[in-house]
Amino acid sequence: MKGEMLTIIGVLLAGGQSRRFGTHKAFAQLNGMFFWESSMNAMKRLTDQQVIISHPELVKVFQQYESYFVCTDDDNVVGKGPLAGMYTTMNHIMGEWYIFLSCDIPFISELVIKQLLRARNNKYLAIIPQVDGKIHPLIGVYHRSSFEYITSQLQNNELKLSALLQKMPVKYMSIEDMGVERKVFCNINSQEDYITLQSNDKI
């Protein structure tokens, strides 16, 4: 897939096994929309190309919906979490900036992505939301230059995204900076979360 350098690549990270949830939560629904569609819709209009990093069991399922490029983690990083998906994307698709979104954030909006993209400059390798002291690295914008840091983390088997961000120049943005509601950052990890979500559309 390597070729012409694109400006912005939108990446849906849906390669996890969803052990806590019990089934593949990318295909859980809110108001008739799959969780993965919410993430994709938030970044689709703002990106030059969209990619889905999928669990092997789901590749053919995703390919039934739209003509997105769907792939699994590279063999040398399989089983190494979100960093593996980030590495795989950057290793195969040339872009200047990458938007990485998880597949379990059903309230995510295009406005969040717009605000993160507006904060880009040559001082930072990532722009990340920080809400009530909690960072959200899988609602993030990463520069191509972060690839070397991601590669190093994987080689050292250091898989925490928080450790990655500690090594790079990062701009953190609050909900006040972005002008959005807290609930857009809610992620669904368990069936209990999902039941609550279905009951009142908020956590």
Q: Is 13 annotated as a binding residue?
A: yes
pTM of the predicted protein model: 0.91
Distance set, CA 37 to CA 32, 63, 87, 127 (Å):
10, 13, 22, 22
What confidence score (pLDDT) does residue 203 get? 44
Q: Is 12 annotated as a binding residue?
A: no
Q: 85: closest CA among 26, 42, 41?
A: 26
pLDDT digits (tens, 9 = 90+) for 103-115: 999 999 999 999 9
d(CA 30, CA 1): 33
Q: How many CB atoms lie within 10 A of CB 160?
A: 13
Kindly list the structural domains of the chain, giving each domain's residue range(s) and its CATH number in brackets, ordered by start: 6-200 (3.90.550.10)
Q: Looking at residues 88-113, what average pLDDT do you find?
A: 95
Q: Is 25 annotated as a binding residue?
A: yes
Q: Is 154 annotated as a binding residue?
A: no
d(CA 75, CA 71): 11
d(CA 32, CA 29): 6
What confidence score (pLDDT) does residue 153 get? 97
Q: Is 14 annotated as a binding residue?
A: yes
Under a CB-based contact definition with an 8 Å cutoff, are residues 108 and 34 in contact?
A: no
Q: Is 160 annotated as a binding residue?
A: no
> Tokens standing for 106?
């059903």
- Average pLDDT of the chain is 89
d(CA 149, CA 81): 15
